[in-house]
Amino acid sequence: MKRSNVAELLSSDKFLQEVTLKGWVRTFRANRFIALNDGSTINNIQCVVDFENTDERILKRITTGAAVAIKGTLVESLGRGQNVEIKVSTIEILGDSNPEEYPIQPKKHSFEFLRENAHLRIRTNTFSAVMRLRSALSFAVHNYFIKNGFYNFHAPIITGSDAEGAGEMFNVTTLDIENPPKNEDGNVDRTKDFFGKTTNLTVSGQLEAETYAMALGKVYTFGPTFRAENSNTTRHLSEFWMIEPEVAFNNLDDNMDLAEDFIKSVISYVLNNCKDDLAFLDNRLTQEDKSKPAAQRNEMSLLEKLNFVVENNFKRVSYTEAIDILRNCKPNKKKKFQYLINEWGADLQSEHERFLVEKHFKCPVILFDYPANIKAFYMRLNEDGKTVRAMDVLFPGIGEIVGGSQREERLDVLKQKIDELNIDEKELWWYLDTRRFGTAVHSGFGLGFERLVQFTTGMGNIRDVIPYPRTPQNAEF
Ligand code: 4AD
Ligand code: MG
């Protein structure tokens, strides 16, 4: 007989059908009621065991976490909380789970404890909901770009250039670190290394994506990126996934339109397709809020927040306007910010970004036209000679979710910038070729996938939205 899954049985009304299903016991109560989950949905199906006619030794092995195979009949449920249940005819224990040893008992566990048990935390409601949403968002990302005429471009993960400047890099080497070959100057001789040169894990696929956009028109990358910064925050990972579209002939306004439309589209997708998981996470966040002091509570529930983002325009504000707002705002005047904003040119910290989004505008904000000297070399210089066509999308509770720009397409301006920053032009010969042959206005951005998952699920810590987080001093599993 074909094996059913819990999701389809819970929405079935074909009563009295014989079914077989396999899954894991969440709870077993009154020697009779199994709450069974198989990962297909956040909801469990109730399986009712005829305990009087079931071997005592089998009943004892129906414990939280055990894997079981069940044959039975789908019937209308008289109990509260479910419409259907399974009247069990046979139950087979596939894999025992000793209740004395199994860490995931049916009670509330802290996220810290679950992080230490990241291989088992996926068996909880919260993490299964988060990871199903992560999967749905990933699908929605590919779906959005393919539907809009983009090509998926796989950027290399090992890179020979380190000119992006997005962050510290992880070195890739096969040299014996105890005893590396040295050259005459006494330095490590990287010509003897695997690739014959220094290589690193990529911090961004952008520069390579630009070369592809200059032929395929619209491309996007969606892959892992690596940053060796010592940032221990709730929004930083050392390994994270980034989505980077790059579009020939798009200017900064087009780029902002794309970012806004893209984010709204993927959030709409999960609102329409992940209702049960979102309802669970919405309730989780509401409960969590109740235990917080009033000032720290969210003004909107998770679902309200997601709908708000989909239904409202993002506010577009220049860096210069933002600095005026920040310079004159209460927390700046009362010296409540850790970094006070005194003058134009200051780099914005997350406290400033969050003030703008959460307190001042109370909606997603796109900041643009930043000072050239706090942004990367490849951003297009404005006519004023001091700002560049950069944009950051800032989200409530998250801060920066997107960073992007219109790219400098003029060879002479780009070369001058590279010189000023002492970047080795030879290393970027292939990048500069795009400006030599058929250069054109083009733009793109990077969206941190985990920050999007955080926003969509309401999870407070980025370590809880990626299966096995990598952070400084932590690469377990
Ligand atoms: O702003 P970033 O550094 O931009 C770039 O790398 C550009 N090359 C992107 C482009 O234009 N194609 O990073 C982009 C986004 C950030 O806005 C943030 O959401 C995320 O990547 N991000 C991180 N997410 C988790 N952990 C980290 N350490 C992150 N660093 C950046
Ligand atoms: Mg950035």
Tell me, in angstroms, the distance from the centre of ligand 1 to residue 448's CA: 6
**Where on the phi/psi map is residue 379: left (φ > 0), alpha (ψ -120 to 50), or beta?**
beta
Contacts (Cβ under 8 Å, ≥6 apart) of 158: 172, 195, 199, 200, 201, 202
Tens place of pLDDT per residue across the chain (477 aa): 789 999 999 999 888 889 999 999 999 999 999 999 999 999 999 999 999 999 999 999 999 999 999 999 999 998 887 889 999 999 999 999 999 999 999 899 999 999 999 999 999 999 999 999 999 999 999 999 999 999 999 999 999 877 677 679 999 999 999 999 999 999 999 999 999 999 999 999 999 999 999 999 999 999 999 999 999 999 999 999 999 999 999 999 999 999 999 999 999 999 999 999 999 999 999 999 999 998 888 889 999 999 999 999 999 999 999 999 999 999 999 999 999 999 999 999 999 999 999 999 999 999 999 999 999 999 999 999 999 999 999 999 999 999 999 999 999 999 999 999 988 899 899 999 999 999 999 999 999 999 999 999 999 999 999 999 999 999 999
- Which residue is closest in CA terms to ligand 1's atom 17? 402
Question: Does residue 282 line the site of ligand 1, with CB under 6 A?
Answer: no
∠ at Cα 168 (402, 154), nearest 5°? 55
* For ligand 1, mutation pick of 347, 451, 452, 471 (most atoms within 8 Å of CB): 451
pTM tops 0.95 = yes
Answer yes or no: are the C-beta atoms of 226 and 205 closer than 8 Å. no
Ligand nearest to the CA of 370: 2
Ligand nearest to the CA of 163: 1
- Which residue is closest in CA terms to ligand 1's atom 22? 448
Burial 290-323 (b: 16+ CB within 10 A, else e): eeeeeeeebeeebbebbeebeeeebbebebeebb
Tell me, in angstroms, the distance from the centre of ligand 2 to residue 1's CA: 53
Question: Does residue 466 line the site of ligand 1, with CB under 6 A?
Answer: no
Question: Does residue 403 line the site of ligand 1, with CB under 6 A?
Answer: yes
Tell me, in angstroms, the distance from the centre of ligand 1 to residue 283's CA: 30
Report how far residue 159's alpha carbon sits from residue 201's, in angstroms, rounded to the nearest whole number. Answer: 6
User: By CB neighbour count within 10 A (0-12 exposed, 13-18 middle, 19+ buried), where does 12 fall?
Assistant: middle
Ligand nearest to the CA of 348: 2
Ligand nearest to the CA of 232: 1
Question: Does residue 465 line the site of ligand 1, with CB under 6 A?
Answer: no
- Which residue is closest in CA terms to ligand 1's atom 6? 204
Question: Does residue 41 line the site of ligand 1, with CB under 6 A?
Answer: no
Ligand nearest to the CA of 165: 1
Tell me, in angstroms, the distance from the centre of ligand 1 to residue 92's CA: 49
In this structure, what are the phi and psi dihedrals at residue 292, rounded to the nearest 5 degrees?
Answer: -100, 155
Question: Does residue 236 line the site of ligand 1, with CB under 6 A?
Answer: yes
> Which amino acid, 391?
M
Tell me, in angstroms, the distance from the centre of ligand 1 to residue 402's CA: 7
Answer yes or no: are the C-beta atoms of 407 and 249 closer than 8 Å. no
Tell me, in angstroms, the distance from the centre of ligand 1 to residue 463's CA: 16
Tell me, in angstroms, the distance from the centre of ligand 2 to residue 400's CA: 7
Answer yes or no: are the C-beta atoms of 59 and 22 closer than 8 Å. no
- Which residue is closest in CA terms to ligand 1's atom 20? 448
